[in-house]
Structure 1
Amino acid sequence: MTDSDGRPHQGPAGSDGEPVYADRVYRSVPGVISGVLLLAVAAWLIGDAALNGAGKTPWVSLAAVPVFAFPVIAYTLRPAVRANDRRLLVRNPLRTITAPWAAVDALRAGYSVELLAEGKKYQVWAVPVSLRQRKRAARAQDRGGRPQHASRLGMVFGQGGGAPSGPGVQGSTDPTKAWSDQVVNVLQQMAERNASRPEASGPIEVRWCWWIIAPTLAGLVALIAVIAA
Protein backbone atom coordinates (compact mmCIF):
# COMPACT_ATOMS: atom_id res chain seq x y z
CA MET A 1 0.00 0.00 0.00
CA THR A 2 1.01 3.63 -0.39
CA ASP A 3 -0.16 6.98 0.82
CA SER A 4 -3.02 8.59 -1.10
CA ASP A 5 -0.64 11.19 -2.55
CA GLY A 6 1.29 8.44 -4.30
CA ARG A 7 4.25 8.27 -1.92
CA PRO A 8 5.46 4.63 -2.05
CA HIS A 9 6.79 2.65 0.87
CA GLN A 10 10.17 1.04 0.30
CA GLY A 11 10.28 -2.74 0.31
CA PRO A 12 13.12 -5.26 0.15
CA ALA A 13 15.80 -5.03 -2.50
CA GLY A 14 15.11 -6.64 -5.86
CA SER A 15 17.35 -8.95 -7.86
CA ASP A 16 19.26 -6.00 -9.33
CA GLY A 17 20.00 -4.57 -5.90
CA GLU A 18 17.56 -1.68 -6.28
CA PRO A 19 14.81 -1.26 -3.66
CA VAL A 20 11.38 -2.56 -4.63
CA TYR A 21 8.51 -0.16 -4.03
CA ALA A 22 4.83 -0.88 -3.63
CA ASP A 23 2.39 0.61 -6.11
CA ARG A 24 1.75 4.32 -6.06
CA VAL A 25 -1.96 4.73 -5.29
CA TYR A 26 -4.06 7.78 -6.15
CA ARG A 27 -7.71 8.25 -5.20
CA SER A 28 -10.11 11.09 -4.47
CA VAL A 29 -10.28 11.61 -0.70
CA PRO A 30 -13.49 13.73 -0.90
CA GLY A 31 -15.07 10.97 -3.00
CA VAL A 32 -14.28 8.35 -0.38
CA ILE A 33 -15.61 10.55 2.43
CA SER A 34 -18.85 11.28 0.56
CA GLY A 35 -19.31 7.58 -0.17
CA VAL A 36 -18.94 6.62 3.47
CA LEU A 37 -21.42 9.32 4.51
CA LEU A 38 -23.96 8.25 1.87
CA LEU A 39 -23.74 4.62 2.96
CA ALA A 40 -24.13 5.58 6.62
CA VAL A 41 -27.24 7.70 5.94
CA ALA A 42 -28.71 4.98 3.70
CA ALA A 43 -28.09 2.31 6.34
CA TRP A 44 -29.93 4.40 8.93
CA LEU A 45 -32.92 5.16 6.67
CA ILE A 46 -33.24 1.65 5.24
CA GLY A 47 -32.79 0.06 8.63
CA ASP A 48 -35.51 2.24 10.12
CA ALA A 49 -37.86 1.43 7.23
CA ALA A 50 -37.17 -2.30 7.50
CA LEU A 51 -37.77 -2.40 11.25
CA ASN A 52 -40.63 0.05 11.63
CA GLY A 53 -42.30 0.11 8.22
CA ALA A 54 -45.73 -1.37 7.51
CA GLY A 55 -47.04 -3.38 4.59
CA LYS A 56 -44.58 -3.75 1.74
CA THR A 57 -42.28 -1.03 3.05
CA PRO A 58 -39.79 -3.38 4.82
CA TRP A 59 -39.49 -5.58 1.72
CA VAL A 60 -39.13 -2.63 -0.62
CA SER A 61 -36.43 -1.11 1.58
CA LEU A 62 -34.48 -4.39 1.74
CA ALA A 63 -34.73 -4.89 -2.01
CA ALA A 64 -33.41 -1.37 -2.51
CA VAL A 65 -30.21 -2.08 -0.58
CA PRO A 66 -28.12 -3.50 -3.48
CA VAL A 67 -29.64 -1.02 -5.94
CA PHE A 68 -28.30 1.86 -3.86
CA ALA A 69 -25.27 0.45 -2.03
CA PHE A 70 -23.34 -1.12 -4.90
CA PRO A 71 -23.49 1.94 -7.22
CA VAL A 72 -22.39 4.17 -4.34
CA ILE A 73 -19.46 1.85 -3.65
CA ALA A 74 -18.63 1.73 -7.38
CA TYR A 75 -18.57 5.49 -7.90
CA THR A 76 -17.05 6.67 -4.61
CA LEU A 77 -15.02 3.97 -2.84
CA ARG A 78 -13.85 1.78 -5.72
CA PRO A 79 -12.09 4.24 -8.13
CA ALA A 80 -8.33 4.24 -7.76
CA VAL A 81 -5.18 4.47 -9.83
CA ARG A 82 -2.23 2.18 -9.08
CA ALA A 83 1.12 2.55 -10.80
CA ASN A 84 4.47 0.80 -10.57
CA ASP A 85 7.46 0.40 -12.88
CA ARG A 86 5.64 -2.19 -15.03
CA ARG A 87 2.10 -0.99 -15.57
CA LEU A 88 -0.69 1.45 -14.84
CA LEU A 89 -3.91 0.08 -13.36
CA VAL A 90 -7.01 2.27 -13.58
CA ARG A 91 -9.91 1.10 -11.45
CA ASN A 92 -13.08 2.80 -12.68
CA PRO A 93 -16.61 2.23 -11.29
CA LEU A 94 -17.50 -0.64 -13.63
CA ARG A 95 -14.23 -1.55 -15.32
CA THR A 96 -10.58 -2.12 -14.49
CA ILE A 97 -8.02 -1.17 -17.14
CA THR A 98 -4.51 -2.60 -16.86
CA ALA A 99 -2.12 -0.89 -19.27
CA PRO A 100 1.59 -1.78 -19.48
CA TRP A 101 3.63 1.39 -19.83
CA ALA A 102 4.70 0.47 -23.37
CA ALA A 103 1.03 0.54 -24.44
CA VAL A 104 0.34 3.99 -22.92
CA ASP A 105 0.29 6.76 -25.52
CA ALA A 106 -0.40 9.67 -23.15
CA LEU A 107 -2.25 10.89 -20.10
CA ARG A 108 -3.97 14.26 -20.22
CA ALA A 109 -6.05 16.40 -17.91
CA GLY A 110 -8.67 18.64 -19.51
CA TYR A 111 -12.06 18.80 -17.88
CA SER A 112 -11.38 15.19 -16.84
CA VAL A 113 -8.33 12.95 -16.73
CA GLU A 114 -8.00 10.62 -19.70
CA LEU A 115 -5.74 7.67 -20.48
CA LEU A 116 -4.86 7.24 -24.16
CA ALA A 117 -3.58 3.76 -24.98
CA GLU A 118 -3.51 1.67 -28.14
CA GLY A 119 -5.71 4.17 -29.95
CA LYS A 120 -8.45 4.09 -27.30
CA LYS A 121 -9.48 6.60 -24.65
CA TYR A 122 -10.35 5.71 -21.06
CA GLN A 123 -11.67 8.02 -18.37
CA VAL A 124 -9.78 8.04 -15.06
CA TRP A 125 -12.48 8.42 -12.40
CA ALA A 126 -10.13 8.32 -9.42
CA VAL A 127 -8.45 11.63 -10.31
CA PRO A 128 -11.13 14.33 -10.61
CA VAL A 129 -10.17 17.68 -12.10
CA SER A 130 -10.73 20.76 -9.96
CA LEU A 131 -11.11 23.94 -12.00
CA ARG A 132 -11.17 25.93 -8.76
CA GLN A 133 -7.68 24.72 -7.83
CA ARG A 134 -6.40 25.56 -11.31
CA LYS A 135 -7.82 29.09 -11.18
CA ARG A 136 -6.40 29.63 -7.69
CA ALA A 137 -2.91 28.58 -8.83
CA ALA A 138 -3.17 30.76 -11.96
CA ARG A 139 -4.18 33.82 -9.90
CA ALA A 140 -1.28 33.29 -7.55
CA GLN A 141 1.16 33.01 -10.45
CA ASP A 142 -0.25 36.20 -12.01
CA ARG A 143 0.48 38.05 -8.76
CA GLY A 144 4.12 37.07 -9.13
CA GLY A 145 4.37 35.45 -5.74
CA ARG A 146 4.75 31.86 -4.74
CA PRO A 147 1.64 30.02 -6.02
CA GLN A 148 -0.74 28.68 -3.48
CA HIS A 149 -0.79 24.94 -3.05
CA ALA A 150 -4.26 23.40 -3.31
CA SER A 151 -4.56 20.01 -1.72
CA ARG A 152 -6.92 17.21 -2.70
CA LEU A 153 -9.32 18.37 0.01
CA GLY A 154 -9.59 21.86 -1.48
CA MET A 155 -7.48 23.44 1.31
CA VAL A 156 -4.94 26.11 0.39
CA PHE A 157 -1.39 26.10 1.76
CA GLY A 158 1.54 28.41 1.30
CA GLN A 159 -0.26 31.70 0.82
CA GLY A 160 1.88 34.77 0.34
CA GLY A 161 5.62 34.17 0.45
CA GLY A 162 5.64 31.11 2.67
CA ALA A 163 6.36 27.60 1.48
CA PRO A 164 3.45 25.23 1.05
CA SER A 165 2.84 23.31 4.25
CA GLY A 166 0.41 20.76 2.80
CA PRO A 167 1.45 17.49 1.15
CA GLY A 168 2.05 17.48 -2.57
CA VAL A 169 2.28 14.52 -4.93
CA GLN A 170 5.50 12.58 -4.57
CA GLY A 171 7.67 13.07 -7.64
CA SER A 172 5.83 16.15 -8.93
CA THR A 173 8.09 18.78 -10.49
CA ASP A 174 5.62 21.57 -9.68
CA PRO A 175 3.83 21.06 -6.32
CA THR A 176 1.94 24.34 -6.80
CA LYS A 177 -0.34 22.89 -9.47
CA ALA A 178 -3.75 21.38 -8.82
CA TRP A 179 -3.62 17.85 -7.44
CA SER A 180 -5.02 16.26 -10.60
CA ASP A 181 -2.42 18.00 -12.79
CA GLN A 182 0.37 16.85 -10.49
CA VAL A 183 -0.84 13.25 -10.67
CA VAL A 184 -1.07 13.35 -14.47
CA ASN A 185 2.44 14.81 -14.73
CA VAL A 186 3.89 12.13 -12.46
CA LEU A 187 2.15 9.32 -14.35
CA GLN A 188 3.26 10.74 -17.70
CA GLN A 189 6.84 10.83 -16.46
CA MET A 190 6.55 7.22 -15.27
CA ALA A 191 5.21 6.22 -18.69
CA GLU A 192 8.11 7.86 -20.51
CA ARG A 193 10.68 6.46 -18.08
CA ASN A 194 9.41 2.87 -18.00
CA ALA A 195 8.05 2.31 -21.53
CA SER A 196 11.31 0.74 -22.69
CA ARG A 197 11.50 -1.81 -19.89
CA PRO A 198 11.00 -5.40 -21.14
CA GLU A 199 8.58 -6.20 -18.32
CA ALA A 200 6.48 -3.11 -19.15
CA SER A 201 5.24 -4.47 -22.49
CA GLY A 202 2.08 -6.36 -23.39
CA PRO A 203 -1.53 -5.76 -24.36
CA ILE A 204 -4.10 -3.74 -22.44
CA GLU A 205 -6.51 -5.75 -20.31
CA VAL A 206 -10.04 -4.52 -19.61
CA ARG A 207 -12.14 -6.38 -17.06
CA TRP A 208 -15.74 -5.67 -16.09
CA CYS A 209 -16.54 -5.47 -12.39
CA TRP A 210 -19.25 -8.12 -12.20
CA TRP A 211 -19.39 -8.13 -8.40
CA ILE A 212 -20.84 -4.61 -8.75
CA ILE A 213 -22.96 -5.12 -11.88
CA ALA A 214 -24.61 -8.47 -11.06
CA PRO A 215 -25.91 -7.61 -7.53
CA THR A 216 -27.18 -4.25 -8.75
CA LEU A 217 -29.16 -5.81 -11.59
CA ALA A 218 -30.46 -8.59 -9.33
CA GLY A 219 -31.52 -6.05 -6.74
CA LEU A 220 -33.26 -3.96 -9.40
CA VAL A 221 -35.24 -6.99 -10.58
CA ALA A 222 -36.16 -7.83 -6.99
CA LEU A 223 -37.20 -4.24 -6.28
CA ILE A 224 -39.46 -4.13 -9.35
CA ALA A 225 -41.01 -7.47 -8.40
CA VAL A 226 -41.70 -6.37 -4.82
CA ILE A 227 -43.27 -3.09 -5.92
CA ALA A 228 -45.39 -4.79 -8.56
CA ALA A 229 -46.56 -7.60 -6.26
Structure 2
Amino acid sequence: MTTPDHQPPAPDPAYKDRVYRSPSGIAGGVLLLAIVGWLGIDALVTGEGRTPWVALATLLVLVPLVAAFTVRPAVYANEQRLRVRNPFRVITLPWGTVETFRSGYSNEVFDTAGTKYQVWAVPVSLRARKRAARKEAKGARTDAPGARRTRSPHPAPVAEGPVRAQGDQIIDELRELLEARGKDPRAQGEVSLRWAYEVMAPAAAGAVLLAILLSFG
Protein backbone atom coordinates (compact mmCIF):
# COMPACT_ATOMS: atom_id res chain seq x y z
CA MET A 1 0.00 0.00 0.00
CA THR A 2 1.37 3.40 -0.96
CA THR A 3 0.82 6.61 0.94
CA PRO A 4 -0.11 9.91 -0.73
CA ASP A 5 3.48 11.09 -0.17
CA HIS A 6 4.97 8.09 -1.99
CA GLN A 7 2.99 7.66 -5.16
CA PRO A 8 4.53 5.31 -7.76
CA PRO A 9 5.90 7.14 -10.80
CA ALA A 10 3.40 7.48 -13.62
CA PRO A 11 4.32 5.47 -16.71
CA ASP A 12 5.25 7.38 -19.82
CA PRO A 13 2.17 7.83 -21.99
CA ALA A 14 2.11 5.88 -25.26
CA TYR A 15 1.97 8.31 -28.14
CA LYS A 16 0.51 7.15 -31.40
CA ASP A 17 2.40 7.96 -34.55
CA ARG A 18 1.19 10.64 -36.88
CA VAL A 19 1.40 9.05 -40.31
CA TYR A 20 1.96 11.12 -43.46
CA ARG A 21 1.69 9.61 -46.93
CA SER A 22 1.00 10.78 -50.47
CA PRO A 23 -2.58 9.84 -51.52
CA SER A 24 -1.85 10.61 -55.16
CA GLY A 25 1.32 8.50 -55.05
CA ILE A 26 -0.56 5.56 -53.53
CA ALA A 27 -3.37 5.84 -56.08
CA GLY A 28 -0.93 5.97 -58.97
CA GLY A 29 1.05 3.05 -57.55
CA VAL A 30 -2.02 0.86 -57.13
CA LEU A 31 -3.03 1.60 -60.73
CA LEU A 32 0.45 0.77 -62.06
CA LEU A 33 0.64 -2.42 -60.00
CA ALA A 34 -2.74 -3.50 -61.37
CA ILE A 35 -1.60 -2.94 -64.97
CA VAL A 36 1.76 -4.66 -64.46
CA GLY A 37 0.12 -7.56 -62.65
CA TRP A 38 -2.53 -8.02 -65.31
CA LEU A 39 -0.03 -8.01 -68.17
CA GLY A 40 2.48 -10.18 -66.31
CA ILE A 41 -0.02 -12.82 -65.20
CA ASP A 42 -1.50 -12.95 -68.69
CA ALA A 43 1.96 -13.61 -70.14
CA LEU A 44 2.63 -16.27 -67.50
CA VAL A 45 -0.59 -18.11 -68.28
CA THR A 46 -0.81 -17.78 -72.05
CA GLY A 47 2.83 -17.28 -73.06
CA GLU A 48 4.85 -19.91 -74.86
CA GLY A 49 8.51 -20.87 -74.81
CA ARG A 50 10.51 -18.68 -72.47
CA THR A 51 7.90 -15.91 -72.44
CA PRO A 52 6.53 -17.00 -69.02
CA TRP A 53 10.05 -16.89 -67.58
CA VAL A 54 10.66 -13.42 -69.00
CA ALA A 55 7.31 -12.31 -67.61
CA LEU A 56 8.19 -13.73 -64.18
CA ALA A 57 11.56 -11.97 -64.13
CA THR A 58 9.95 -8.71 -65.24
CA LEU A 59 7.37 -8.98 -62.47
CA LEU A 60 10.11 -9.60 -59.92
CA VAL A 61 11.84 -6.40 -61.05
CA LEU A 62 8.87 -4.09 -61.57
CA VAL A 63 6.50 -4.95 -58.71
CA PRO A 64 8.94 -4.21 -55.84
CA LEU A 65 10.26 -1.06 -57.55
CA VAL A 66 6.81 0.36 -58.35
CA ALA A 67 5.64 -0.37 -54.80
CA ALA A 68 8.82 1.11 -53.34
CA PHE A 69 8.43 4.46 -55.07
CA THR A 70 4.64 4.83 -54.77
CA VAL A 71 2.99 2.80 -51.99
CA ARG A 72 5.88 2.32 -49.56
CA PRO A 73 7.01 5.90 -48.70
CA ALA A 74 5.65 7.17 -45.38
CA VAL A 75 6.62 9.42 -42.50
CA TYR A 76 5.88 8.44 -38.90
CA ALA A 77 6.20 11.09 -36.20
CA ASN A 78 5.53 10.89 -32.48
CA GLU A 79 6.72 12.67 -29.36
CA GLN A 80 10.12 10.93 -29.32
CA ARG A 81 11.26 10.47 -32.89
CA LEU A 82 10.76 10.91 -36.62
CA ARG A 83 10.83 7.83 -38.85
CA VAL A 84 11.17 8.36 -42.60
CA ARG A 85 10.39 5.34 -44.77
CA ASN A 86 11.84 5.99 -48.22
CA PRO A 87 11.93 3.58 -51.21
CA PHE A 88 15.16 1.83 -50.19
CA ARG A 89 15.89 3.01 -46.64
CA VAL A 90 14.22 3.62 -43.30
CA ILE A 91 15.75 6.51 -41.35
CA THR A 92 14.91 6.90 -37.66
CA LEU A 93 15.82 10.27 -36.15
CA PRO A 94 15.15 11.09 -32.49
CA TRP A 95 13.99 14.71 -32.37
CA GLY A 96 17.20 15.70 -30.61
CA THR A 97 19.17 14.70 -33.73
CA VAL A 98 17.03 16.73 -36.16
CA GLU A 99 18.50 20.09 -37.10
CA THR A 100 15.95 21.47 -39.54
CA PHE A 101 13.61 20.82 -42.46
CA ARG A 102 14.03 22.35 -45.89
CA SER A 103 11.29 22.62 -48.48
CA GLY A 104 12.30 23.63 -52.01
CA TYR A 105 11.79 21.45 -55.06
CA SER A 106 11.76 18.50 -52.64
CA ASN A 107 11.21 18.14 -48.90
CA GLU A 108 14.30 17.26 -46.89
CA VAL A 109 15.30 16.76 -43.27
CA PHE A 110 18.80 17.51 -41.95
CA ASP A 111 20.31 15.97 -38.86
CA THR A 112 22.68 17.79 -36.51
CA ALA A 113 25.69 16.30 -38.35
CA GLY A 114 24.55 18.02 -41.55
CA THR A 115 23.42 14.84 -43.33
CA LYS A 116 20.45 15.34 -45.65
CA TYR A 117 17.61 12.85 -46.07
CA GLN A 118 14.89 13.27 -48.65
CA VAL A 119 11.30 12.86 -47.48
CA TRP A 120 9.73 10.86 -50.31
CA ALA A 121 6.31 10.56 -48.67
CA VAL A 122 5.76 14.33 -48.72
CA PRO A 123 6.32 15.39 -52.33
CA VAL A 124 6.44 19.05 -53.35
CA SER A 125 3.69 20.14 -55.72
CA LEU A 126 4.45 23.45 -57.42
CA ARG A 127 0.91 23.45 -58.81
CA ALA A 128 -0.55 23.12 -55.30
CA ARG A 129 1.68 25.97 -54.11
CA LYS A 130 0.50 28.23 -56.94
CA ARG A 131 -3.12 27.30 -56.22
CA ALA A 132 -2.66 28.09 -52.52
CA ALA A 133 -0.97 31.40 -53.38
CA ARG A 134 -3.87 32.38 -55.66
CA LYS A 135 -6.40 31.48 -52.96
CA GLU A 136 -4.50 33.52 -50.37
CA ALA A 137 -4.26 36.50 -52.74
CA LYS A 138 -7.97 36.26 -53.45
CA GLY A 139 -8.72 36.19 -49.73
CA ALA A 140 -6.50 39.23 -49.18
CA ARG A 141 -8.36 41.18 -51.87
CA THR A 142 -11.70 40.22 -50.33
CA ASP A 143 -10.61 41.35 -46.86
CA ALA A 144 -9.13 44.62 -48.12
CA PRO A 145 -10.85 47.86 -46.98
CA GLY A 146 -13.47 48.94 -49.49
CA ALA A 147 -13.72 45.52 -51.13
CA ARG A 148 -17.20 44.65 -52.31
CA ARG A 149 -18.74 41.75 -50.43
CA THR A 150 -21.60 39.62 -51.69
CA ARG A 151 -23.83 37.75 -49.31
CA SER A 152 -23.92 33.97 -49.89
CA PRO A 153 -26.57 31.63 -48.43
CA HIS A 154 -23.86 29.04 -47.79
CA PRO A 155 -20.66 30.90 -46.90
CA ALA A 156 -17.45 28.87 -47.14
CA PRO A 157 -15.49 28.38 -43.92
CA VAL A 158 -12.67 30.85 -43.47
CA ALA A 159 -9.23 29.28 -42.96
CA GLU A 160 -7.14 30.57 -40.09
CA GLY A 161 -3.64 31.71 -41.01
CA PRO A 162 -2.04 31.72 -44.44
CA VAL A 163 -3.20 29.28 -47.10
CA ARG A 164 -0.60 26.53 -47.60
CA ALA A 165 -0.18 23.58 -49.94
CA GLN A 166 -0.71 20.21 -48.28
CA GLY A 167 2.97 19.24 -48.44
CA ASP A 168 3.99 22.56 -46.89
CA GLN A 169 1.38 22.11 -44.15
CA ILE A 170 2.89 18.73 -43.25
CA ILE A 171 6.40 20.19 -43.07
CA ASP A 172 5.03 22.99 -40.87
CA GLU A 173 3.58 20.37 -38.49
CA LEU A 174 6.90 18.52 -38.37
CA ARG A 175 8.72 21.79 -37.63
CA GLU A 176 6.32 22.43 -34.75
CA LEU A 177 7.01 18.95 -33.35
CA LEU A 178 10.75 19.55 -33.67
CA GLU A 179 10.49 22.87 -31.84
CA ALA A 180 8.38 21.34 -29.07
CA ARG A 181 10.27 18.07 -28.61
CA GLY A 182 13.85 18.70 -29.76
CA LYS A 183 15.16 19.40 -26.24
CA ASP A 184 13.16 16.71 -24.45
CA PRO A 185 15.47 14.16 -22.72
CA ARG A 186 13.27 11.33 -23.97
CA ALA A 187 13.74 12.47 -27.59
CA GLN A 188 17.51 12.05 -27.67
CA GLY A 189 19.58 9.27 -29.22
CA GLU A 190 21.33 8.42 -32.46
CA VAL A 191 20.22 8.34 -36.06
CA SER A 192 19.67 4.81 -37.35
CA LEU A 193 19.46 3.60 -40.95
CA ARG A 194 18.03 0.36 -42.27
CA TRP A 195 18.18 -0.77 -45.88
CA ALA A 196 14.95 -2.15 -47.36
CA TYR A 197 16.24 -5.59 -48.36
CA GLU A 198 12.65 -6.77 -48.73
CA VAL A 199 12.47 -4.46 -51.77
CA MET A 200 16.04 -4.76 -53.05
CA ALA A 201 16.41 -8.57 -52.89
CA PRO A 202 13.50 -9.59 -55.18
CA ALA A 203 14.24 -6.73 -57.59
CA ALA A 204 17.90 -7.80 -57.83
CA ALA A 205 16.92 -11.46 -58.29
CA GLY A 206 14.52 -10.53 -61.05
CA ALA A 207 17.14 -8.35 -62.76
CA VAL A 208 19.69 -11.20 -62.70
CA LEU A 209 17.14 -13.68 -64.06
CA LEU A 210 16.05 -11.26 -66.78
CA ALA A 211 19.66 -10.60 -67.79
CA ILE A 212 20.35 -14.34 -68.05
CA LEU A 213 17.25 -14.95 -70.15
CA LEU A 214 17.99 -12.09 -72.52
CA SER A 215 21.69 -12.94 -72.87
CA PHE A 216 20.92 -16.52 -73.91
CA GLY A 217 18.14 -15.50 -76.25
TM-score by length of 2: 0.84
Aligned-CA RMSD value: 2.2
Give the 5 Å matches for 1:16-31. Answer: 16=10, 20-31=14-25
Secondary structure of the 2:109 match is strand
Superposition deviation, residue 140 in structure 1: 2.0
Return closer, same or farther for 1:140/1:175 CA change in 2, 3 Å cut-off. Answer: closer
Maintained 8 Å contact 1:95/1:208: yes
Matched, 1:93 2:87: yes
Superposition deviation, residue 192 in structure 1: 0.9
Superposition deviation, residue 18 in structure 1: 8.1
Give the 5 Å matches for 1:29-178. Answer: 29-117=23-111, 118-143=113-138, 144=140, 162-163=156-157, 174=161, 176-178=163-165
Maintained 8 Å contact 1:145/1:161: no
Code of the aligned partner of 1:131 = L
Larger Rg computed on CA atoms:
2
1:215 corresponds, among 197, 202, 206, to: 202
Unaligned runs of 5+ residues in structure 1 are 1-14, 148-159, 166-172
Secondary structure of the 2:168 match is helix
Corresponding residue of 1:206: 193
Aligned residues: 196
Secondary structure of the 2:116 match is strand
Task: Give the fraction of aligned pairs with identical amino acids, expressed as a percent.
Answer: 46
Return closer, same or farther for 1:175/1:83 CA change in 2, 3 Å cut-off. Answer: farther
Structure holding more strand per residue: 1
Corresponding residue of 2:3: none
Maintained 8 Å contact 2:73/2:120: yes
Corresponding residue of 2:148: none
Corresponding residue of 2:6: none
Return closer, same or farther for 1:98/1:125 CA change in 2, 3 Å cut-off. Answer: same
Distance 2:181 2:212 in 1: 52
Superposition deviation, residue 206 in structure 1: 1.1
Secondary structure of the 2:117 match is strand
TM-score by length of 1: 0.79
Secondary structure of the 2:91 match is strand
Q: Which runs of 4+ in 1 moved over 6 A?
A: none
Unaligned runs of 5+ residues in structure 2 are 1-8, 144-153
Distance 2:10 2:122 in 1: 33
Secondary structure of the 1:88 match is strand
Superposition deviation, residue 222 in structure 1: 0.6
Corresponding residue of 1:157: none
Code of the aligned partner of 2:116 = K
Code of the aligned partner of 2:47 = G
Superposition deviation, residue 174 in structure 1: 4.2
